Amino acid sequence: MPADQDIRGCIACGYCKSHGQCVFHDIVNELAPEFEEADGLLVGTPVYYAQPNATLVALLQRLFYSTPFDKRMKVGVCVVCCRRGGASATFDALNKFFTISQMPVVSSQYWNSIHGQTPGEAQQDEEGKQTMRTLGRNMAFLMKSIALGKEQQGLPEVEAVRQSTNFIR
């Protein structure tokens, strides 16, 4: 994501439901066709106050909500970098985009995090680097396995009607 681009948050206007894309014509609409064609999505972020970068969250909220295509069985991966803590909460927040979209989440030998505060420090995190290498191999394997499964079996059946319960009646 280019650092010089402003990414607005979703305003719940509903434009995307009738037009198939977000009302804001920016990188979100540019990424949508690439996401649709991709077999997987890898998202990375630094950790700020035990949360992902706010601009990244705005982008992902709009990208996932505004795109009408089926995301089932696209592989989802997130990696986070932090000085010390907050990695697990950040990791969890990003994985929610994948799981609500029926995207398998790739795992590794530990949480997908690497530690470092200043440029170059993460290179000293041997366990973190090993976790990333394992993650890459697992992502490649899972993507190949899903492609083979889709070729031989097709996608899993979809419920005819998606139930959506509002708890306020």
- CA-to-CA dists, residue 26 to 1, 7, 36, 55, 57, angstroms: 11, 7, 17, 13, 15
Indicate whether 104 belongs to any domain: yes
Indicate whether 86 belongs to any domain: yes
| Tens-digit pLDDT profile for residues 60-73 | 999 999 999 999 99
Quote the number of domains for the chain. 1
Q: How confident is the model at residue 1 (pLDDT cuts 50, 70, 90)?
A: low
Residues forming beta bridges with residue 45, ordered by sequence position:
80
| Tens-digit pLDDT profile for residues 70-81 | 999 999 999 999
Q: How confident is the model at residue 22 (pLDDT cuts 50, 70, 90)?
A: very high
Indicate whether 132 belongs to any domain: yes
Alpha-carbon gap, residue 54 to 48, rounded angstroms: 9
Q: Residue 58 belongs to what domain range?
A: 25-151
Indicate whether 167 belongs to any domain: no
- Burial (Cβ within 10 Å: 0-12, 13-18, ≥19) of residue 142: buried
Q: What confidence score (pLDDT) does residue 7 get?
A: 95
Q: Exposure pattern of 67-105 as b/e (b: 16+ CB <10 Å)?
A: beeebebbbbbbbbbbeeebbeebbebbbebbeebebbb
Q: What is the pTM of this model?
A: 0.91
Check pLDDT > 80 for residue 87: yes
CATH number at residue 133: 3.40.50.360
Q: How much is the average pLDDT of 56-63?
A: 98
Indicate whether 160 belongs to any domain: no
Alpha-carbon gap, residue 51 to 71, rounded angstroms: 24
Alpha-carbon gap, residue 96 to 32, rounded angstroms: 18
Q: How much is the average pLDDT of 93-122?
A: 96
Indicate whether 19 belongs to any domain: no
Indicate whether 14 belongs to any domain: no
Check pLDDT > 70 for residue 167: yes
Indicate whether 94 belongs to any domain: yes
